[in-house]
Amino acid sequence: MNFTGKSSHKFLAAILSAVLLSCALGCGGSSKSSSHSSVIATTGSNVAPITVGSGPTGNYADGAFATVTVCAPGTSTCATIDGVLVDTGSSGLRILSSLLPAGLTQQTSGGNPVLECFPFVSGYTWGPVETADIEISGEKASSAFIQAIGSNDTVPSGCLSYGLPSSNTLATLGANGILGVGLFAQDCGVSSSPTCPASANVYYECPSASSCSPISATAAQQVQNPVTLFSSDNNGVIVELPAVTAPEASLGGSLVFGIGTQSNNAVGSATVYTADPNLGNFSTTFNGVDFSDAAFLDSGSNGYFFPDSSIPQCGTGASGFYCPSSTENLSATNQGFTQGSGTVSFSVANALNMFNQSPSDAVYPNLAGTTGTPPANVFDWGLPFFFGRNVFVAIDGASTPSGNGPFWAY
């Protein structure tokens, strides 16, 4: 989620990379330059439509939403859920529990229910880990672990120790769920250290509603990136959105599954930017500052987020976002962990003016903000980066014609 939380004018929560979460847990304007925008795939069993719009709350800014079908395992008892935020910065499907079908199987440990506290930057989701079949377009992940957001169980002190507000309702989450299709197969840890330790305060065994204790969870026990469970097209995704230069009401695009597995998902002329397999990041150099191994591409963040004390911040109505007196045209250089380099041009406009002048719009290509107070030393290339690009996300360890993941390409 973004670094600023909810604005009184627009819902400005976004999802920060769970890649950074993995590090924290000890695991280990439209942009044009260097852009290889290509035709957006609209048909195919591996293509799901996505919409950048105001979302199920009607006031989301720069949120890319998809529709997901969740079924009780091996049955036709299903619920089709729209308004699910597409997030390349986390892994795993999380759905508001009130929207899920009956018959999902609860994961247990020692005969007791397992619940998860998943911390994003602007809030945590708390709820049981359940088993479900997931269907997106023509793809299916059978018997996948998902998180049902919301529970009457008392939130444990370890979860509250993150110091984050709850994102357990539609009003606080701003979406009906989160579809995490990021670089990793599980939601806590990386391939070299896949077990989520009890000290992370993410997974809990709950003998009663008021008594939950943190537990370790192996990769196989964690909420899983559903793409890795597809029978094919399971090595990554492509987020495809058209270019936009000014605020718009909505924008249509596609989420394409697989990289180099079908005629509609070839990397082509896109440049591959490898990611650190232990951290999930690459490097960005901006304004003379090297965000070394601390940058990432994150469709779940609704703006560009980076520290820059020279750009004025907004006040009430868009707190934490940038409000320059006039649009600033900027550039930065991205450097892959082992390969890939290129310059990105982007623009930062006055967020408050955009919201006031285009109150009915939900697409803001020049939206940007700071990374907190004090500013975190990260560079978050959020959803505006994706406008006008086909952005490839290759899963850690997965084989593609352009090499093994983890990498981004664009």
Confidence of residue 117 (pLDDT cuts 50, 70, 90): very high
Pull the structure tokens for residue 97.
């529990």
What percentage of residues in the chain have a pLDDT greater than 70?
A: 91
The letter for the amino acid at 75 is T
**Ranges of each domain in the chain:** 18-229, 266-409
Q: What is the C-alpha separation between 158 and 164, in angstroms, rounded?
A: 11
User: Of all residues in the chain, what percent carry a pLDDT higher than 90?
Assistant: 87
| Residue 383 CB neighbour total at 10 angstroms | 30
pLDDT, tens digit (0-9, with 9 covering 90-100), for 285-315:
999 999 999 999 999 999 999 999 999 999 9
**Tell me, what's the pLDDT at 189?**
81
pLDDT of residue 264: 97
What pLDDT is recorded for position 22? 34
CA 342 – CA 186 distance, rounded (Å): 29
Overall average pLDDT of the 233-241 stretch: 98
- Between the alpha carbon of residue 132 and those of residues 42, 137, 168, 179, 206, the distances in Å are 27, 16, 20, 14, 20
The answer on pLDDT for 85 being more than 80 is: yes
The three-state secondary structure class of 341 is strand
Tokens linked to 251:
């924008």
- Amino acid of residue 84: V
Containing 334, the helix (H) or strand (E) segment is: strand 328-335
* Tens-digit pLDDT profile for residues 175-217: 999 999 999 999 998 878 899 999 999 999 999 999 999 999 9
21-30, 72-81, 322-331, 352-361: which has the minimum mean pLDDT? 21-30
pLDDT at 249: 97
Please give the Cα distance from 93 to 117 (Å, whole number).
14
Average pLDDT over residues 263-275: 97
Q: What is the pLDDT of residue 38?
A: 67
Residues 58 and 378: their CA atoms lie apart, in Å, by 30
Find all residues with CB under 8 Å of 17, minimum gap 6, and list them.
89, 90, 182, 280, 281, 296, 298, 380
The pLDDT of residue 25: 34
The mean pLDDT of 368-397, rounded to a whole number, is 95
pLDDT of 306 reads 97
Amino acid sitting at position 328: E
Mean pLDDT of the chain: 91
**pLDDT of 30 above 50:** no
Mean pLDDT score, 316-342: 97
Lowest mean pLDDT among 35-44, 347-356, 392-401: 35-44
Rounded CA-CA distance 34/410 in Å is: 8
382 close to 303: Cβ distance less than 8 angstroms: yes
Residue 363: what are its φ and ψ, rounded to 5°?
-110, 120
Examine the pLDDT at 10 and tell me if it is beyond 70: no
List pLDDT tens digits, range 214-229.
999 999 999 999 999 9
Q: Return d(Cα 234, Cα 258) in angstroms, integer.
A: 5
Fold of 18-229: Cathepsin D, subunit A; domain 1 (2.40.70)
The number of beta carbons lying within 10 Å of the beta carbon of residue 160 is 15
